[in-house]
Amino acid sequence: MAFIELSGVTKSWKKGEHEVKPLENVDLEIQAGEFFVLLGPSGSGKTTLLNLLAGIDRPISGRVIVDGKDLTQMSSHELAPWRAEHVGYVFQQHHLIPVLTAYENVELPLFLFGMTAAQRHERVSLALTAVGLADRASHYPRQLSGGQEQRVAIARAIVADPPLLVADEPTGDLDHASAEAVLTMLQRFQKERGKTIVMVTHDLKAAERGSRIVHLDKGRLYTANGARA
């Protein structure tokens, strides 16, 4: 059984008198430990698909199964704790809280788990060390470079040790060197820690870091040779 299974997934909404349908009858399987890349232009529905996998949004039809759980059958109250335990989300804009230090930003998700301060400290220290920022723990976001902010965001995503990392254009706002460092880090988490990673991007160079690339166009998935995925 695949780690992620989408079956007949359609997502649409009304915009004025028009219907927007970013996903139409999508079928997809992603295996555990895969670095899966969804490639497509802005507005193609990549983030919509990512949010369905992360349990943030729901399709209007079809099934979304992640690690044996059918997310379409779970209530909002069930999804929230499931998401905290199973999904780490890396955003393009980092979404760090400016009044919190790097350490405090990374620590924040752990308050959902009822850990002691000592347990949280161990997890945060390991996460910051993993992204090479242990020496920046007391720095605020304004004191960090864009690449360092994104690495803090990755530390926050992995601190609860979720099996799934989803990344929405994680290198979109970074210079070349910082982007390469972030992509190398994601590859390392996949290969060394067995994380399943789903990354969306419009950057072909970034997409080449993945173990499999699928294109999204007009609500449908295609392989590199243009066949329906």
The enclosing domain of 85 has a CATH number of 3.40.50.300
Are the beta carbons of 154 and 109 closer than 8 angstroms? no
DSSP strand pairing (69-70 vs 87-90): unpaired
Whether 227 maps to a domain, the answer reads no
pLDDT tens, residue by residue, 117-129: 999 999 999 999 9
Does residue 118 sit within a domain?
Answer: yes
Task: Reply yes or no on whether the pLDDT at 174 is more than 90.
Answer: no
Predicted pLDDT of residue 224: 61
What percent of the chain lies above the pLDDT cut of 70?
Answer: 97
Res 205 pLDDT > 80: yes
Amino acid in the structure at residue 169 = E
pLDDT at res. 130: 93
At residue 160, what are phi and psi to the nearest 5 degrees?
-90, 5
126 domain residue, yes or no: yes
Structure tokens at 216: 């999204």
The stretch 87-97 carries a mean pLDDT of: 91
Q: What is the pLDDT of residue 20?
A: 80
Q: How many CB atoms lie within 10 A of CB 187?
A: 15
Residue 59 within any structural domain of the chain: yes
In the structure, what pLDDT confidence band is assigned to residue 225 with cuts at 50, 70 and 90? low
Question: How far is 15 from 24, CA to CA, in rounded Å?
Answer: 17
- Contact assessment for residue 35 and residue 212, using Cβ atoms and an 8 Å cutoff: yes
Q: What angle do CA 186, 2, 188 make, to 5 degrees?
A: 15
How many distinct structural domains can be found in the chain? 1
- 175-189: pLDDT as tens digits: 899 999 999 999 999
Q: Residue 46 and residue 44: Cα distance in Å, rounded?
A: 6
CB 22 within 8 A of CB 200: no
Question: Where does the pLDDT of residue 80 fall: very low under 50, low under 70, confident under 90, or very high at 90 and above?
Answer: very high
How many other β-carbons are positioned within 10 Å of the β-carbon of residue 197?
A: 23
Q: What is the pLDDT of residues 143-172, one digit of tens each?
A: 999 999 999 999 999 999 999 999 999 998
**Range(s) of the domain holding residue 180:** 4-222
In a domain, 175, yes or no: yes
Which residue type occupies 177?
A
Is residue 188 a part of any domain in this protein?
yes
> Residue 228 domain-assigned?
no
CB 229 within 8 A of CB 28: yes
Is the pLDDT at 192 greater than 70? The verdict is: yes
